[in-house]
């Protein structure tokens, strides 16, 4: 029996509440629709006044409320359905008690929070997690975030961000998984599964929110909130698939994006939210606006006033209004005037209630107020954060200087503004992580080389040079340069402060800020080996710094345990295995630059004349007439998928089982992977394909599979992959998703720019 009647203590009425424990896996394409649950939702909605229904559609932030009494009165009157940014479990329980015992219908609140890459234990930023190419780590990290956040009463997070971004000027590239559709889809599914767990009604399950729907990462000029123009085919082939994957994985909520696309703000785009999300994909959770994006349709020029904005949003399929107050102030009058049907409101309320039921909030709304003491910074959480940081670091260059041998070093100089800053290594969108819980690189190196380490003791000289990444203190640089002259090796930690990436933190220039480049130049003049470690929230233009460095490690803000991870990599206790989830440009002027672009009719050949070699009075057509920049060519500094190791790998004997396939066949791929170096290591083997011809032009390469493969020194493994030909489907000229016939090339390699192709036909 799923339904019973409870006597309301305050008003003495019999009210229907759902109390059964409903078990929902987060993995089915569509949630199991229990008929009794849906009946219970119908009966509850039938008892609600219009004001109470609109209240469920209203989300407020505890950051923006002048006093507790206003919030409590609104909860009591049923005028709030969700609260975000409340993380005190005592306060959460108090609000839930008001909602259940003092409101007319006893509907629990849904507490939300931006838990983007950890709650207390902070993991690498999502761009760093993508660099691991390890969905297991991403899922387990999201599970840790859910365990910690739910212990504080948070049952809903606004993550994962699934925006494809090909422009590192956009600050929010830090929050996503990079430029590739397949990698973003895989990592997004892993994060959804981690947040929501295996039992949605368990107190540690936290509802995921796939955002931002859709195209936000293509904002013009890399400037936040800017317009996009993405035609339907591009949306369907590149930007929508990660969201579809998240919906199939059971993501309970979706958030609309700030941008307009082709003149239509996403919060008012019915084609996206209703036609595609609901009708095509069968999404049964609820859609929430981004912060105030309902009201912002007025600023866009899409709505004339708040009432029109509210009407457009709800009719588009936006169920909950985050911090616009447009629904709660305008919807009742819109219904009375017949401009919005109450049936539309009912649909939105049912979607919201369905998520609350699935989360078990009706039966278990309260949080154990002591639980957080056991979960925050648990040893196993810190261990996983360190493992994630280890695998997220990418070795971009190395002349053999790394790994450092402590036995050969008497004095080590550690310098740079990112060497000992526990706050800045946490990265963007960290509301609850704590600086004093971070272990910095300097602290980790000191511990590793200290008396208790068992190693030969190394004298560590710390001279920061610069106080923070934008600092221009020449005196500090000179002190570091002086210290470098007496050191045997130098590690320079540079990069970006957390505030320089994330929402509204866009840059037109991606060079290192302040005097950081001068710091590297100054210590390099000592003639000693220089290892540069860049800790940042996005790709930066670092050709000069790479040329100055004997070795270069790139760490997308690595989180709480970034220091120990970097120390282990620097001294060879661990071997780098991270790969770039985004292309690194040589110069900002190359942007957008990404690996999976279409070919032109005159593609770059690689042997074109560079700017400095153009003869005076050269003929107009003497430079080859291909698509490139005279001053920067067309190649990136580092390609997508790139990353070195302390060992080397060889791909040989790549073969397929046939040379001709039908559209519903499965291709069997085999190759030998050999560790040809002197140390054990893990290679991320990557599979790319290209359709040579199609009804529409296709990218020159597309990632469709990858696998992390550990190998001992000298070991060879024969790897077999089975790939359904259906995985090669794309949206064609007729706007249908299909596998087209023709010739296909495939590459199996360690990055997007390597490997020899193998060809086959699809008949």
The domain boundary, picked from 358, 381, 413, lies at 358
Cβ atoms of residues 160 and 588 within 8 Å: no
Confidence of residue 606 (pLDDT cuts 50, 70, 90): confident
Cβ atoms of residues 259 and 265 within 8 Å: yes
User: Quick check: is 190 in a domain?
Assistant: yes
Give the pLDDT confidence of 194-250 residue by residue, as tens digits: 999 999 999 999 999 999 999 999 999 999 999 999 999 999 999 999 999 999 999
Widest Cα–Cα separation across the chain = 94
Beta-sheet pairing, 660-661 with 681-691: unpaired
Q: Is 652 exposed, middle or buried (0-12, 13-18, 19+ CB in 10 A)?
A: exposed
Cβ atoms of residues 243 and 254 within 8 Å: yes
Confidence of residue 624 (pLDDT cuts 50, 70, 90): confident
Cβ atoms of residues 412 and 460 within 8 Å: yes
User: Quick check: is 499 in a domain?
Assistant: no
pLDDT at position 68 is 63
Cβ atoms of residues 611 and 631 within 8 Å: yes
pLDDT at 19 over 70: no
pLDDT at position 28 is 37
pLDDT at position 23 is 27
Q: Give the pLDDT mean for 18-22.
A: 29
Domain with 699 in it:
649-762
Q: Give the pLDDT mean for 323-328.
A: 98
Cβ atoms of residues 161 and 216 within 8 Å: no
The domain boundary, picked from 358, 379, 403, lies at 358
User: Quick check: is 318 in a domain?
Assistant: yes
Confidence of residue 3 (pLDDT cuts 50, 70, 90): very low
Q: How many CA atoms lie within 13 A of 733 on its CB side?
A: 6
Give the pLDDT confidence of 389-401 residue by residue, as tens digits: 999 999 999 999 9
Q: Give the pLDDT mean for 682-690.
A: 98
Question: How far separated are the first and last CA of the chain, in Å rounded?
Answer: 55
User: Quick check: is 476 in a domain?
Assistant: no
* 229, two tokens: 């123009």
Confidence of residue 81 (pLDDT cuts 50, 70, 90): very high
| Averaged pLDDT score across all residues of the chain | 94
User: Quick check: is 368 in a domain?
Assistant: no
Alpha carbon 248 to its chain's center: 18
pLDDT at 31 over 80: no
- What CATH number did the domain enclosing 320 receive? 3.20.20.300
Radius of gyration from C-alpha coordinates of the chain: 27
The helix-helix angle for 306-316 and 342-358 (nearest 10°) equals 60
User: Quick check: is 505 in a domain?
Assistant: no
pLDDT at position 65 is 63
Supply φ then ψ for residue 555, to 5 degrees. Answer: -125, 105
- What CATH number did the domain enclosing 746 receive? 2.60.40.10
pLDDT at position 10 is 33
Measuring CA to CA, which residue among 327, 291, 324, 344 is closest to residue 85?
A: 291
Q: Can you give 563-601 as a three-state secondary structure string?
A: HHHHHHHHCCCCCCCCCCCCCECCCHHHCCCCCCCECCC
Give the pLDDT confidence of 83-103 residue by residue, as tens digits: 999 999 999 999 999 999 999
Give the pLDDT confidence of 542-575 residue by residue, as tens digits: 999 999 999 999 999 999 999 999 999 999 999 9
Number of domains in the chain: 2
Distance CA 170, CA 223 (A): 6
CA angle 750, 689, 222 (to 5 degrees): 80
Cβ atoms of residues 274 and 317 within 8 Å: yes
The domain boundary, picked from 322, 338, 358, lies at 358
Q: Give the pLDDT mean for 369-388.
A: 96
Give the pLDDT confidence of 248-297 residue by residue, as tens digits: 999 999 999 999 999 999 999 999 999 999 999 999 999 999 999 999 99
Confidence of residue 455 (pLDDT cuts 50, 70, 90): confident
User: Quick check: is 328 in a domain?
Assistant: yes
pTM attached to this predicted model: 0.95
Active-site positions read 290
Report DSSP state, residue 291. T
Distance CA 739, CA 578 (A): 32
Report in angstroms the alpha-carbon separations of 210 from 121, 280, 286, 320.
22, 17, 11, 15
Distance CA 116, CA 162 (A): 12
Contacts of 558 (CB under 8 A, 6+ apart): 124, 128, 389, 392, 393, 425, 427, 535, 565, 566
Measuring CA to CA, which residue among 460, 461, 465, 462 is closest to residue 480?
A: 465
Distance CA 69, CA 315 (A): 33
Measuring CA to CA, which residue among 14, 18, 78, 31 is closest to residue 361?
A: 18
pLDDT at 122 over 80: yes
Q: Which residues face 434 on adjacent strands?
A: none
* 351, two tokens: 């979607």
Q: Is 462 exposed, middle or buried (0-12, 13-18, 19+ CB in 10 A)?
A: middle
User: Quick check: is 73 in a domain?
Assistant: yes
């Amino acid at each position: 029996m799923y339904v019973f009647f409870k006597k309301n203590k305050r008003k003495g009425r019999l009210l229907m509440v759902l109390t059964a424990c409903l078990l929902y896996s987060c993995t089915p394409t569509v949630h199991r629709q229990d008929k009794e649950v849906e009946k219970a939702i119908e009966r509850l909605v039938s008892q609600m006044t219009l004001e109470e229904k609109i209240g469920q559609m209203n989300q407020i932030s505890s950051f923006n409320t002048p006093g507790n009494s206003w919030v409590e009165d609104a909860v009591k009157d049923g005028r709030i359905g969700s609260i975000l940014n409340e993380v005190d479990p005592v306060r959460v329980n108090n609000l839930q008690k008001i909602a259940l015992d003092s409101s007319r219908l006893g509907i629990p609140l849904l507490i939300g929070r931006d838990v983007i890459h950890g709650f207390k234990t902070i993991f690498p930023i999502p761009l760093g997690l993508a660099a691991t190419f390890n969905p297991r780590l991403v899922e387990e990290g999201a599970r840790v975030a859910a365990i910690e956040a739910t212990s504080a009463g948070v049952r809903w997070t606004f993550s994962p961000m699934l925006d494809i971004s090909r422009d590192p000027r956009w600050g929010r590239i830090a929050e996503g998984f990079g430029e590739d559709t397949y990698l973003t889809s895989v990592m997004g599914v892993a994060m959804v599964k981690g947040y929501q767990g295996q039992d949605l009604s368990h107190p540690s399950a936290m509802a995921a929110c796939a955002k931002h729907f859709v195209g936000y990462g293509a904002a013009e000029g890399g400037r936040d909130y800017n317009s996009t123009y993405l035609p339907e085919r591009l949306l369907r082939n590149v930007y929508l698939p990660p969201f579809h994957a998240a919906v199939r994985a059971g993501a309970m909520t979706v958030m609309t994006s700030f941008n307009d696309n082709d003149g239509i703000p996403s919060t008012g785009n019915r084609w996206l939210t209703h036609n595609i999300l609901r009708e095509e994909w069968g999404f049964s959770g609820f859609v929430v606006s981004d912060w105030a994006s309902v009201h912002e349709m007025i600023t866009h020029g899409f709505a004339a006033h708040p009432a029109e904005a509210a009407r457009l949003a709800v009719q588009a399929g936006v169920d909950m209004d985050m911090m616009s107050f447009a629904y709660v102030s305008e919807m009742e009058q819109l219904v009375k005037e017949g401009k919005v049907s109450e049936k539309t409101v009912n649909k939105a309320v049912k979607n919201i209630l369905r998520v609350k039921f699935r989360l078990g909030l009706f039966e278990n709304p309260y949080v154990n107020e002591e639980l957080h003491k056991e979960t925050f910074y648990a040893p196993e959480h810190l261990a996983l954060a360190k493992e994630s940081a280890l695998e997220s670091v990418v070795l971009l260059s190395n002349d053999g200087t790394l790994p450092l041998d402590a036995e050969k070093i008497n004095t080590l100089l550690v310098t740079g503004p990112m060497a000992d800053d526990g706050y800045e290594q946490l990265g963007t969108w960290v509301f609850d992580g704590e600086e004093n819980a971070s272990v910095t690189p300097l602290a980790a190196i000191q511990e590793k080389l200290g008396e208790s380490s068992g190693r030969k003791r190394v004298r560590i000289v710390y001279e920061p040079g610069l106080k923070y990444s934008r600092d221009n203190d020449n005196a500090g640089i000179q002190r570091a340069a002086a210290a470098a002259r007496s050191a045997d090796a130098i590690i320079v930690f540079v990069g970006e402060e957390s505030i320089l990436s994330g929402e509204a933190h866009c840059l037109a220039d991606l060079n290192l800020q302040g005097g950081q480049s001068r710091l590297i130049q100054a210590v390099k003049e000592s003639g000693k080996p220089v290892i540069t470690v860049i800790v940042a929230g996005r790709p930066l233009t670092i050709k000069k710094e790479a040329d100055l460095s004997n070795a270069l490690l790139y760490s997308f803000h690595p989180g709480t345990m970034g220091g120990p991870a970097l120390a282990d990599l620097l001294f060879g206790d661990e071997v780098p295995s991270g790969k770039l989830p985004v292309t690194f440009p040589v110069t900002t002027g190359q942007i957008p630059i990404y690996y999976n672009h279409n070919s032109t009719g005159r593609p770059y050949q690689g042997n074109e004349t560079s700017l400095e070699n153009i003869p005076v009075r050269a003929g107009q057509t003497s430079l080859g007439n291909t698509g490139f920049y005279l001053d920067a060519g067309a190649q990136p500094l580092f390609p997508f998928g790139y990353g070195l190791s302390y060992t080397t790998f060889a791909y040989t004997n790549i073969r397929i089982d046939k040379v001709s396939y039908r559209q519903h066949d499965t291709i069997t791929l085999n190759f030998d992977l050999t560790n040809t170096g002197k140390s054990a290591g893990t290679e991320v083997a990557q599979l790319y394909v290209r359709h040579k011809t199609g009804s529409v032009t296709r990218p020159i390469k597309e990632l469709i599979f990858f696998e992390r493969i550990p190998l001992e020194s000298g070991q060879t493994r024969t790897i077999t992959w089975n790939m359904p030909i259906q995985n090669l489907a794309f949206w064609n000229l007729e706007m249908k998703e299909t596998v087209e016939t023709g010739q296909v090339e495939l590459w199996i390699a360690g990055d997007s720019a390597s490997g020899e192709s193998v060809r086959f036909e699809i008949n």
